[in-house]
Amino acid sequence: MIPPSCHMALSIRPAGTGDSPGLAALCGQLWYPTTVEQVEQRLEQLQTDEQHCVYVAELASGAVVGWIYVYLIRSLLDDPQAEIGGLIVDEGCRGQRIGERLLKQAEQWAGEHGCCAVSVRSNVIRKDAHRFYERLGYRVVKTQLALRHDLARDHE
Protein backbone atom coordinates (compact mmCIF):
# COMPACT_ATOMS: atom_id res chain seq x y z
CA MET A 1 0.00 0.00 0.00
CA ILE A 2 1.31 3.45 -0.91
CA PRO A 3 1.74 5.77 2.09
CA PRO A 4 -0.72 8.70 1.92
CA SER A 5 2.21 11.14 2.02
CA CYS A 6 3.15 10.13 -1.55
CA HIS A 7 -0.13 11.60 -2.78
CA MET A 8 0.87 15.09 -1.64
CA ALA A 9 1.87 17.80 -4.11
CA LEU A 10 5.16 16.88 -5.72
CA SER A 11 7.78 19.12 -7.29
CA ILE A 12 10.80 18.26 -9.40
CA ARG A 13 13.79 20.53 -8.84
CA PRO A 14 17.60 20.52 -9.08
CA ALA A 15 19.22 18.82 -6.11
CA GLY A 16 21.09 20.82 -3.49
CA THR A 17 23.66 19.69 -0.95
CA GLY A 18 20.94 19.87 1.70
CA ASP A 19 19.28 16.95 -0.08
CA SER A 20 22.25 14.65 0.62
CA PRO A 21 20.61 12.72 3.51
CA GLY A 22 17.58 11.88 1.37
CA LEU A 23 19.71 10.97 -1.64
CA ALA A 24 21.92 8.69 0.45
CA ALA A 25 18.93 6.94 2.01
CA LEU A 26 17.44 6.29 -1.42
CA CYS A 27 20.76 4.89 -2.69
CA GLY A 28 20.61 2.29 0.06
CA GLN A 29 17.18 1.14 -1.13
CA LEU A 30 18.74 -0.12 -4.39
CA TRP A 31 21.76 -1.72 -2.69
CA TYR A 32 24.16 1.17 -3.31
CA PRO A 33 25.07 1.93 0.31
CA THR A 34 26.77 5.29 0.71
CA THR A 35 27.20 7.86 3.44
CA VAL A 36 25.62 11.29 3.53
CA GLU A 37 29.13 12.79 3.44
CA GLN A 38 30.01 10.83 0.27
CA VAL A 39 26.82 11.94 -1.47
CA GLU A 40 27.38 15.55 -0.40
CA GLN A 41 30.94 15.53 -1.75
CA ARG A 42 29.91 13.92 -5.05
CA LEU A 43 26.97 16.26 -5.48
CA GLU A 44 29.17 19.32 -4.88
CA GLN A 45 31.54 18.10 -7.61
CA LEU A 46 28.70 17.48 -10.07
CA GLN A 47 27.15 20.87 -9.42
CA THR A 48 30.31 22.62 -10.68
CA ASP A 49 30.03 20.92 -14.08
CA GLU A 50 27.18 21.99 -16.37
CA GLN A 51 27.42 18.65 -18.20
CA HIS A 52 25.89 16.90 -15.18
CA CYS A 53 22.56 17.39 -13.43
CA VAL A 54 20.72 15.80 -10.51
CA TYR A 55 17.01 16.39 -9.96
CA VAL A 56 14.97 15.42 -6.93
CA ALA A 57 11.30 14.69 -6.47
CA GLU A 58 10.18 16.50 -3.33
CA LEU A 59 6.86 16.27 -1.52
CA ALA A 60 5.20 19.38 -0.12
CA SER A 61 6.40 18.17 3.30
CA GLY A 62 10.01 18.58 2.12
CA ALA A 63 10.67 14.83 1.93
CA VAL A 64 12.82 13.74 -1.02
CA VAL A 65 11.16 10.66 -2.51
CA GLY A 66 13.19 10.24 -5.69
CA TRP A 67 16.14 11.42 -7.70
CA ILE A 68 17.61 11.17 -11.18
CA TYR A 69 21.15 11.84 -12.34
CA VAL A 70 21.76 12.69 -16.01
CA TYR A 71 24.96 13.65 -17.79
CA LEU A 72 26.20 14.51 -21.27
CA ILE A 73 28.26 12.14 -23.39
CA ARG A 74 30.36 13.71 -26.09
CA SER A 75 32.08 11.31 -28.42
CA LEU A 76 34.01 11.15 -31.64
CA LEU A 77 31.70 8.30 -32.63
CA ASP A 78 28.30 9.97 -32.28
CA ASP A 79 26.39 13.20 -31.81
CA PRO A 80 25.94 14.45 -28.22
CA GLN A 81 23.78 12.21 -26.09
CA ALA A 82 22.75 12.06 -22.46
CA GLU A 83 22.85 9.09 -20.15
CA ILE A 84 20.82 8.43 -17.05
CA GLY A 85 23.39 7.60 -14.38
CA GLY A 86 20.80 6.71 -11.76
CA LEU A 87 17.08 6.88 -11.05
CA ILE A 88 15.63 5.92 -7.69
CA VAL A 89 12.13 6.36 -6.28
CA ASP A 90 11.37 5.59 -2.65
CA GLU A 91 10.04 2.05 -2.43
CA GLY A 92 6.96 3.29 -0.57
CA CYS A 93 6.12 5.75 -3.36
CA ARG A 94 6.65 3.64 -6.45
CA GLY A 95 3.79 3.28 -8.90
CA GLN A 96 2.82 6.97 -8.55
CA ARG A 97 4.52 8.17 -11.80
CA ILE A 98 7.27 9.89 -9.85
CA GLY A 99 9.95 8.06 -11.84
CA GLU A 100 8.23 9.05 -15.06
CA ARG A 101 8.22 12.72 -14.05
CA LEU A 102 11.90 12.57 -13.13
CA LEU A 103 12.73 10.88 -16.43
CA LYS A 104 10.81 13.48 -18.43
CA GLN A 105 12.71 16.25 -16.61
CA ALA A 106 16.02 14.59 -17.48
CA GLU A 107 14.93 14.24 -21.12
CA GLN A 108 14.02 17.92 -21.21
CA TRP A 109 17.44 18.82 -19.79
CA ALA A 110 19.11 16.63 -22.43
CA GLY A 111 17.17 18.33 -25.21
CA GLU A 112 18.14 21.76 -23.89
CA HIS A 113 21.78 20.63 -24.06
CA GLY A 114 21.57 19.60 -27.73
CA CYS A 115 21.35 15.85 -27.23
CA CYS A 116 20.01 13.57 -29.95
CA ALA A 117 19.13 10.73 -27.56
CA VAL A 118 18.97 9.65 -23.92
CA SER A 119 20.24 6.24 -22.90
CA VAL A 120 20.19 4.24 -19.70
CA ARG A 121 21.99 1.12 -18.51
CA SER A 122 20.11 -1.26 -16.28
CA ASN A 123 21.33 -4.36 -14.49
CA VAL A 124 19.95 -7.53 -16.09
CA ILE A 125 18.26 -8.52 -12.81
CA ARG A 126 16.15 -5.32 -12.62
CA LYS A 127 13.22 -6.57 -14.70
CA ASP A 128 10.77 -4.03 -13.26
CA ALA A 129 13.11 -1.21 -14.31
CA HIS A 130 13.32 -2.66 -17.84
CA ARG A 131 9.52 -2.69 -18.12
CA PHE A 132 9.37 0.89 -16.79
CA TYR A 133 11.79 2.22 -19.40
CA GLU A 134 10.24 0.24 -22.25
CA ARG A 135 6.78 1.54 -21.34
CA LEU A 136 8.19 5.06 -21.74
CA GLY A 137 9.64 4.42 -25.20
CA TYR A 138 13.14 3.17 -24.42
CA ARG A 139 14.29 0.10 -26.33
CA VAL A 140 17.11 -2.37 -25.91
CA VAL A 141 19.90 -1.48 -28.35
CA LYS A 142 22.60 -3.94 -27.26
CA THR A 143 23.80 -6.36 -24.62
CA GLN A 144 27.36 -6.03 -23.39
CA LEU A 145 29.75 -6.93 -20.62
CA ALA A 146 30.84 -4.31 -18.10
CA LEU A 147 34.57 -4.53 -17.36
CA ARG A 148 36.54 -2.43 -14.91
CA HIS A 149 40.16 -1.95 -13.93
CA ASP A 150 40.42 -0.54 -10.40
CA LEU A 151 43.20 2.02 -10.51
CA ALA A 152 43.56 2.14 -6.73
CA ARG A 153 44.88 -1.44 -6.78
CA ASP A 154 47.76 -0.36 -9.02
CA HIS A 155 49.00 1.92 -6.23
CA GLU A 156 48.81 -0.51 -3.30
Any idea what the CATH number is for the domain that residue 57 is in?
3.40.630.30
Number of domains in the chain: 1
Average pLDDT, the chain: 91
Find the Cα–Cα–Cα–Cα dihedral 103, 105, 109, 110, rounded to 10°: 20
Range of the domain at 139: 4-154
Residue 5's pLDDT is what? Answer: 62
User: How does pLDDT run across 38-54, given as a tens digit for each residue?
Assistant: 999 999 999 999 999 99
pLDDT classification of 153: cutoffs 50, 70, 90: confident
Residue 144 pLDDT more than 70? yes
User: How does pLDDT run across 94-142, given as a tens digit for each residue?
Assistant: 999 999 999 999 999 999 999 999 999 998 999 999 999 999 999 999 9
Q: How far is CA 96 from CA 44, 61, 69, 84, 100, in A?
A: 29, 17, 19, 20, 9
Q: Which whole number is the average pLDDT over 25-48?
A: 92
Task: Tell whether the torsion through CA atoms of 34, 85, 125 and 97 is positive or negative.
Answer: positive
pLDDT classification of 155: cutoffs 50, 70, 90: low
Number of helices and strands (H, E) in the chain?
Answer: 5, 5
Q: Which whole number is the average pLDDT over 70-87?
A: 95
